[in-house]
A = this chain, B = another copy of it.
Amino acid sequence: MSDPTPDAEPADRIAVDFGDDGLVPAVAQDADSGEVLMLAYVNREALERTRETGRAHYYSRSREELWEKGATSGHTQEVREVRVDCDADTLLYLVDQTGGACHTGHRSCFHRTVDGEHVGERVFDPDVVYE
């Protein structure tokens, strides 16, 4: 069980601004290729779990729960580094992605241009993975 009242942050650690809703967007980027894989939201607990486990955790706004990426699909993200932007209200996860990040079977959730052109690589069959 995680402690609901975490200790004060170390002096050098950046105080993330989780804002009124307690969430910040987190961009997951492939640490090797640089491909932007997905964007999801993170609350304080999800960030703590990510740091503790080294695996990417997010907060699902629709299901209203903490969520470990790949817990169902096996397509986990090992987090090499967590960066924070200048305003400390956005995170960047540099990850080693197993399989694909997108539930559609694509490596990246950004597999379409806004004009509807398909530009992404499909790496698994979601009907098999999420059967």
Contact = CB atoms under 8 A, between A and B. Distances in A.
Q: Copies per complex?
A: 2
Interface residues on chain A, size class? 35 or more
Nearest to A86: B109
Nearest to A103: B86
A40 B13 CA distance: 23
Interface of A is mostly: loop
A66 interface: no
A5 to B, nearest CB: 19
Given A83-B111, A84-B113, 13 more contacts: A12-B115, A13-B116, A14-B113, A14-B115, A14-B116, A27-B36, A27-B39, A29-B34, A82-B114, A83-B114, A83-B119, A85-B109, A86-B103
Interface of A: 10, 12-14, 16, 25, 27, 29, 33-36, 38-39, 47, 51, 81-87, 90-92, 102-104, 106, 109-117, 119
